[in-house]
């Protein structure tokens, strides 16, 4: 039988929109859609409603847009938001409330939800000390608060934070785009590689066990502790367990497939 295509929705700010790259295929949404297609061996219908410059208070509008197109809710949604909340000084409680409500609404509509939490703004090259230190502290605090809100609302998180941090700091010319603010194609690919395993796990497509591997620093932790640890180490997934516990995982990153994988069955083995 022909299985229907998987439906992927993308919401958020300029990072989710892929601002700064020249080709649509280099945006994180397109990269994740092609990765999901390769792992699932299904076509993927991809819809991106992200808006460059958006803050979390734009999420209700984006959710409405995604759910109101008449074709039903996507199977899975990715949200990347938070950087503009930090730079525009939106109170974290307000920021997290908007995000949590968006996750809850999508979850209630039948969507699995994966949130890439606030990136570490302390890695942006034009930002100098002491602002760089302040930006890092504020973005990590928001990422931890976002994690708690998302877990409580039925989603999973992947910290983008310092995942891009050391790599961005070491190779800003490669990982930042021409404006030195938005990631380059390689930077977006780094973020997408970190999110893909969690995206697949949320749909039951990933071969890894959900059980923690203590040798890899994984485990069941109180939600607040899991959130704080994830915010300080990029690429870390947090997913709900029995309240008040959460599962902290470091899923193994795989290379992203090319846009047209020659042998989809080989991806993700």
Tokens of 147: 């994690």
The catalytic position among 2, 22, 179, 263 is 179
Helix (H, G, I), strand (E, B) or coil at 127: coil
CA angle 62, 98, 32 (to 5 degrees): 50
Question: Could you confirm whether 85 is annotated as catalytic?
Answer: no
Secondary structure tally for the chain: helices H, strands E: 10, 8
DSSP string, 201-230: HHTT---S-SS--GGGT-EEEEHHHHHHHH
The catalytic position among 34, 40, 95, 182 is 182
Q: In residues, how long is the chain?
A: 269
The catalytic position among 14, 56, 95, 100 is 14
Q: What is the dihedral of CA 13, 19, 23, 29, to 10 degrees?
A: -20
Parallel/antiparallel/unpaired status of strands 156-158 and 112-116:
parallel
Question: Could you confirm whether 179 is annotated as catalytic?
Answer: yes
Residues 151 and 157: beta-carbon distance below 8 Å? yes
Question: Could you confirm whether 34 is annotated as catalytic?
Answer: no
Tokens of 269: 């083995």
Q: Residue 11: which H helix or E strand, with range?
A: strand 6-12
For residue 192, which of 26, 51, 59, 8 has the smallest C-alpha distance? Answer: 26
Please list the active-site residues.
Answer: 14, 179, 182
């Amino acid at each position: 039988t022909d299985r229907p295509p998987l439906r992927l929705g993308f919401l958020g700010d300029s990072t989710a929109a892929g601002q700064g790259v020249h080709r649509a295929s280099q945006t994180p949404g397109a990269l994740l859609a092609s990765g999901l297609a390769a792992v699932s061996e299904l076509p993927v219908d991809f819809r991106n409603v992200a808006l460059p410059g958006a803050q979390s208070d734009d999420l209700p509008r984006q959710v409405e847009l995604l759910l109101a197109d008449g074709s039903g809710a996507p199977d899975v949604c990715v949200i990347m938001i938070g950087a503009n909340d930090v730079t525009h000084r939106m109170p974290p409680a307000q920021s997290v409330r908007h995000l949590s409500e968006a996750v809850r609404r999508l979850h209630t509509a039948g969507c699995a939800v994966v949130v890439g939490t606030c990136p570490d703004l302390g890695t942006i090259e034009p930002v100098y000390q002491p602002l760089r230190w302040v930006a890092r502290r504020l973005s990590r605090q928001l990422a931890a608060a976002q994690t708690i809100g998302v877990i409580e609302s039925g989603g999973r998180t992947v910290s983008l934070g310092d995942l891009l941090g050391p790599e961005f700091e070491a190779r800003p010319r490669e990982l930042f785009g021409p404006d030195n603010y938005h990631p380059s194609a390689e930077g977006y690919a780094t973020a997408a590689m970190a999110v893909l395993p969690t995206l697949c796990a949320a749909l039951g497509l990933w071969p890894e066990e959900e059980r923690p591997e203590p040798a890899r620093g994984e485990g069941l932790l109180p939600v607040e502790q899991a959130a704080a640890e994830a915010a300080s180490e990029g690429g870390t997934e947090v997913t709900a367990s029995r309240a008040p516990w959460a599962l902290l995982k470091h899923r193994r990153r795989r290379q992203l497939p090319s846009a047209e994988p020659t042998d989809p069955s080989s991806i993700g083995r």
